[in-house]
Amino acid sequence: MKRKLILILAIFLGSLFTPAQNVIMTISGNRMSIADSEDEALYGGTGYFPEGKIALRFKGNIYLWGSLGFFSTHYDWQEWSNKGVVAADVQGKNVLDKLIISGGLGYYMGFLRKSDFSIKVEAGVCRITNTIGINKNMIRTSEPVSVEEQKEAGIGIRGNLGVTYGLYKNLFAEVTGGYLFATDKVSNKKVKLGGFQLTMGLGLAF
Check which CATH number belongs to the domain holding 22 and give it: 2.40.160.20
Q: How many domains does the chain have?
A: 1
**Confidence at 125, pLDDT banded by 50, 70, 90:** very high
Confidence of residue 45 (pLDDT cuts 50, 70, 90): low
pLDDT at 150: 86
Percent of the chain with pLDDT over 70: 84
* Count of Cβ atoms closer than 10 Å to residue 175 Cβ: 14
Tell me what pLDDT residue 18 has: 43
**12 — pLDDT class (breaks 50, 70, 90):** very low
- Per the CB < 8 A criterion, the answer to whether 164 and 174 are in contact is yes
Euclidean distance between CA atoms 77 and 90, whole angstroms: 9
Per the structure, the complete domain to which residue 98 belongs is given by: 2-205
Q: Confidence band (pLDDT; 50, 70, 90) for 40?
A: low
Collapsing DSSP states into helix, strand and coil, what is residue 122?
strand
Q: What is the pTM of this model?
A: 0.78
Q: pLDDT band at 103, cuts 50/70/90?
A: very high
